Amino acid sequence: MDDGIETKLIRHEHEEEGDLKQRIWVESKKIWRVALPSVISRVCAFGTIVVTQSFIGHISSIDLAGYALVQTLSVRFVNGILLGMSSATETLCGQAFGAGQTHMMGIYLQRSWIVDFITLTFLLPVFIFGTQIYKLIGEEDSIANSGGYISLWFIPFIYNFVFSLTIQMYLQAQLKNMIIALLSALQFAIHIPLSLLFVYKLNMGVPGAMLALSMSSWFLVIGEFVYIFGGWCPHSWKGFTVAAFKDLVPVVKLSLSSGVMVCLELWYYAVLVLLAGYMSDAEVAISAFSICQNINSWEFMISLGFLGAACVRVANELGRGNAKAVRFSIQVLLGTSTVIGLFFFVLCLAFGKKLAYFFTDDDRVADTVADLSLLLSFSVLLNSIYPVLSGVAVGAGLQSAVAIVNLVCFYLIGIPVGALLGYVTTLEVKGIWLGMIGGVLTQTITLVYMTWRTDWDDQVERASQRLTRFYFKSDYPEPISNNL
């Protein structure tokens, strides 16, 4: 009799283990369904900027420096604000989709267009007065003049962010983001021949390279418009409506907290690059630091894919009212992303110096990169953790809390420690990087604690209240959401 009971217990344990494996497999498929297209689209978008930089670099070294200045400071600043503000769309659309209120998604999308368009218009002086701003921060006149000229050409490009960022999050929330991946791949494919045509065939120089960048970026936006307006989102897009102009204040509030959260992260790295530029051997320091940042940024594109997946999964399950599924999804997300981070951690350790020669022929720079490879590896590993936690916060609508965490960890800990170690000790660039890691590590630990302490049943209730507040009754029946 005891043997029979023991056999049943063993069988039950195996069944539970099998159920757990099956649950992990099902959850992983849901995660990768969002993450993979997001990674592809972000890598292609980043690639068009890098290709443009390469073309400009063959035109003039001064223009290359000017372009890098605009891209590192101005574009990153504006992109950070708009990306963060667009994450409000991600929160609301994800929760609406999970709750079955799909008709509200189109209204949230239109509201985000209004808010982002107005915001970007207010930020235009950053590009219009680029030369004056760059001279103010101490750049050489020739580089500042080139950067100011190129920044004017960036204006038609940056307006694509108003639509491309928000539409990606709108489609991603309803698991239709594979179209974004396909359009992004096409965008990258046409960008190279366009650049060749304008820069070399038509001999248009810098204007030609920038024109190719703007045209390829708007190709993506036009493709997204065709997909939405052409009837491929029948349940979430009901046409333009005046309802988009209602309740803008709470949307702006959520958007601003999101913008601050993301912008504080993006500008953290830009400030550290500026600090490297004031080292004793500034040319080697900033080159090595920038190479490491490029490697870090490429890997970070994968992490941003998981950030989007975390946001969608958490928002969807909160909208459904399933707090238990939220907790399980977070565990699988962190596990998957950490394994990928460990892979790149080992890769950076093994090929530290060799990676540098993809970017430079200068042995001094390569040696400095090799010296930074251990710190780069730890940065890459942390990249696999904190973006997932940021995505969880966005999915739950906790952007304000994360913005405060980022402000304290990055600007009150990371930058001061980096500056202290970089200038007061003999560590120089390595000291700056140690400060950066200190800020990110502190942020990661804080976000882990926040996630662990969050009452997800309470967040379910808050998500329900948020959706009820913004709800408008539709004249069309809602579909049953069975995609997840």
Least confident interval from 97-111, 132-146, 173-187, 266-280: 266-280
pLDDT of res. 254: 66
pLDDT class of 19 with cuts at 50, 70, 90: confident
pLDDT of res. 226: 95
pLDDT of res. 445: 92
Return the closest-CA partner of residue 312 out of 447, 173, 463, 188. Answer: 173
Contacts of residue 85, defined as CB under 8 A and 6 or more positions apart, other chains included, come to: 112, 115, 116, 119, 255, 256, 258, 259
Least confident interval from 2-11, 307-316, 467-476: 2-11
pLDDT digits (tens, 9 = 90+) for 181-240: 999 999 999 999 999 999 999 999 999 999 999 999 999 999 999 999 998 998 889 888
Return the closest-CA partner of residue 465 out of 321, 284, 249, 341. Answer: 321
Provide the CA 135 distance to its chain's centre, in angstroms.
Answer: 29
Number of helices (H), then strands (E), in the chain:
21, 0
Q: How many angstroms separate the CA atoms of 169 and 171, rounded?
A: 5
Q: How many angstroms separate the CA atoms of 307 and 336, rounded?
A: 12
Q: How many angstroms separate the CA atoms of 133 and 125, rounded?
A: 10
The pTM for the full model equals 0.74
Specify the amino acid at residue 283: E
The gap between the terminal CA atoms of the chain, to the nearest Å, is 43
Q: How many angstroms separate the CA atoms of 348 and 305, rounded?
A: 20
pLDDT digits (tens, 9 = 90+) for 452-470: 888 888 888 877 776 676 5
Least confident interval from 80-89, 231-240, 378-387: 80-89
The position carrying tokens 């369904």 is: 33
Q: What is the mean pLDDT of residues 312-320?
A: 83
Give me 2's structure tokens. 């005891």
Return the closest-CA partner of residue 48 out of 211, 268, 205. Answer: 211
